Structure 1
Amino acid sequence: MKFYSMKTKLTSLKLTAIALFLTINGFAQDTSRTKVLTTIAIGSCSRQEAPQYLWPEVLKNNPDLWIWLGDNIYGDTQDMVLLKEKYEVQKSNADYQKMLKQMDIIGIWDDHDYGVNDGGKEFVKREESRDLMFEFLDVERNNPAWKREGGYQSYEYGVAGKKVKILLLDARYFRDELKRENRKYVPNLEGDILGEDQWKWLESELTHSDADIHILAGGIQLLPEEHPYEKWNNFPKAKQRLMKLIGTVQPKNTFYLSGDRHISEISKTVIPGYGAFYDFTSSGLTHSSEGNTSEPNGFRVSKLVDKKSFGLIKIDWSQAKPQVTFEMRGLENVLIDTHKVDWGK
């Protein structure tokens, strides 16, 4: 009996030491909540001074969680006082205030809320801007994300068998140089997006996860390749590294969310040895690229939506494997398109 007690005590001390190590190195779970998610709402590209007609439509769906996917405001400034004022305009919107009262809200930035169009690690105000983003999102002060460089965060919702892990990737703070020629970006063949610290964090989060669904989210699109704008494909080495990481670690039921493009679409590929992998782009809360109805995307498995829209992720936990459905909705909560996720190989 004494031996068992000593063994239990040593095991407890060992687990405590591991937890302390992970915390010190920035790999601890940022935030964990027991709420089981069945409806997640997503969106991006919101001009804080523009009419915001979609918040009431989002609320009609009673989501458990809202995820910002970038361009949460249009800051585009090195003046941090002005950037803070722009965040305050967005946050004070009456309908957005209803969102804050009715659901959890988390998110990550893209370029315009970062402070500079298509910007990367060269932005001189990135540290101050990161803090303003966290304040806007009400990131709790005890969240380990505050102690790291960059804006990446992790959240876990649910209970055993119904657990969702959300990893918000920062594609700005550490991103290498990107050059444009003839109005088209030239791939940076050796360049990186996430930076080594964020890569280590991401690998640890996925490796040590017991979640049933994993959601990666970042500002720019991951799968589309043909268009000339910002995308992971401009950094092919980084994109390959991410896909390889997923194939190696094998996190359960993983997909990616993106914004940025002022269009909405669903893209799909197959990662060898892993299976189906999706990139759900939801962009255009206050403005959209109307008329963009023919942009090529060999990975697209949905309509190309050029109207103002938001996205829904619906999760059915009633079966042995969670059933996930993507929805793209617009004004008056109209269902524009829907796609049931196929986890098959």
Structure 2
Amino acid sequence: MTKPSAELLIAFLLLACPTLRAGDTVGPYVGVLKTTEAYLLYSPGKESVDLRVTVKDENGRTVAVAPSRSEADHDFVAKFHVEGLEPGTTYHYQIEKLVGGKADILAGGNQDYHFTTVPTERSGQVLNVAFISCVNDSTDPVWTEMAKHDLDMLCFGGDTPYADTGDLASLREKHRHLLQRPGLASLCKSTSLVGTWDDHDFGKNNANGKSAAGLKVNRRRAFVEYRAQERYGSGDEGIYQKVDLGAMEVFLLDARWYSQMAPSPVAPNQSTCFGNEQWQWLLESLRNSRAPFKVLLQGQIWQDKKNSETDDMQTYYAERDALLDMIKGEGIPGVVLVGGDIHVSRYLMHPQRVGYDVHGVRSA
């Protein structure tokens, strides 16, 4: 099999633990980046106000403006969707507060606040992407270390934060507190941040879609409020999506929302993990992917936890094996498996499982 011509460097970092608190201003954070689009979020604190992001090229010329508003209904978090950009181009930005026809800069406006859109090329790239799960305040030194590596993207793999609640106010407080960590905020004002969830940020330890059914709506609402992504699952269920960086696509899988809610689409005698809609989306997206590398990221691990807990892909082995069989049968190259959850960092390799060696990492 021909090796992808793009070079890929993935930084896998970890840490674990619970309990977080909150404050006021959040961000700005760079979210999903595309070839001609960018998603950002910012909260000015606990006030409703009209905002806009102004994007400038490296010559200081304004190339795009996107309005938004911080509202109590979304915990005062404003989202910005910027369009009409050029591929593979670095831009600077600022967040402005609009009052009485005047614009006051609240954040940005200097060289530290920038992002680079995704190039159209799928080869000749060196990508630095970090994956992390299980974070709390003691993770702060990791953000500082990450900042030394010129990251293209940071992926949260779940338990980010530890929430263990279905109470909306508490969920929001814990998300807000995490995004206010100074090192993380400094890193992600210029580095794309995306993510999925695991059991603790889905509601409780070892949670699945059935056992945490009463927590799901608030849990998803808080997650969506505090991530600047292009999509969140089907639109009103789940949070799965994929992010295309050119040489690599990261598939942010949702192993919690649909789990135990219905029979598996590939084994009616076994409960599903991904659910039928996400399952079909995943297969079709893999078939259509033109990225040399395809990273399948989920919160739980792809193997057996070797204990009494059931939140691992050994519990859902029929879907895991059917997925790998499809990858092999259809000759889909460059698949990498990433999981989190177990507070142990490991590198794994499955020899010739899909016609080539499948490399896998547990990021926490």
Q: What range is the shorter-chain TM-score in?
A: 0.5 to 0.7
For 2:357 and 2:132, the matched residues in 1 are separated by: 23
Please give the secondary structure, in 2, of the residue aligned with 1:257: strand
Read off the aligned partner of 1:196 and give its amino acid letter. Answer: N
Please give the secondary structure, in 1, of the residue aligned with 2:187: helix
For 1:144 and 1:234, the matched residues in 2 are separated by: 25
| TM alignment of 1:1-345, pairs within 5 A | 32-33=34-35, 34-35=118-119, 36=125, 38-47=127-136, 49-50=137-138, 52-122=140-210, 123-140=213-230, 143=231, 145=233, 147-158=235-246, 163-176=247-260, 190-224=270-304, 226-229=306-309, 230-283=311-364
Please give the secondary structure, in 1, of the residue aligned with 2:357: strand
Instruction: Indicate if the aligned counterparts of 2:224 and 2:232 stay in contact, CA closer than 8 A.
Output: no
Superimposed CA distance per residue, residues 255-304 of structure 1 (whole angstroms, 9 cap, x where no aligned partner): 11111111100111135452111221111xxxxxxxxxxxxxxxxxxxxx
- Structure 1: segments with no counterpart, 5+ residues: 1-29, 178-187, 284-345
Relative to its length, the structure with more helix (as a share) is: 1
| 1:61 shift after superposition | 1.2
Structure 1 runs of 4+ aligned residues shifted over 6 Å read: none
Please give the secondary structure, in 2, of the residue aligned with 1:167: strand
For 1:37 and 1:124, the matched residues in 2 are separated by: 43
For 1:267 and 1:196, the matched residues in 2 are separated by: 28
For 2:184 and 2:235, the matched residues in 1 are separated by: 28
For 1:239 and 1:73, the matched residues in 2 are separated by: 26
| 1:248 shift after superposition | 2.5
For 1:241 and 1:127, the matched residues in 2 are separated by: 30
Instruction: Indicate if the aligned counterparts of 2:324 and 2:354 stay in contact, CA closer than 8 A.
Output: no
Instruction: Indicate if the aligned counterparts of 1:119 and 1:172 stay in contact, CA closer than 8 A.
Output: yes
| 1:192 shift after superposition | 1.5
Instruction: Indicate if the aligned counterparts of 2:232 and 2:239 stay in contact, CA closer than 8 A.
Output: no
Call closer, same or farther: CA 1:204–1:148 in 2, change over 3 Å. farther
Please give the secondary structure, in 2, of the residue aligned with 1:54: helix
- Structure 2: segments with no counterpart, 5+ residues: 1-31, 36-117, 120-124, 262-267
CA RMSD of aligned residues (A): 2.3
TM-score (norm 1): 0.64
Superimposed CA distance per residue, residues 23-68 of structure 1 (whole angstroms, 9 cap, x where no aligned partner): xxxxxxx974324551111111012x54622110111111111011
Call closer, same or farther: CA 1:236–1:134 in 2, change over 3 Å. same
For 1:102 and 1:94, the matched residues in 2 are separated by: 14
Identity of aligned residues (%): 23
Deviates more, 1:233-242 or 1:255-264: 233-242
TM-score (norm 2): 0.61
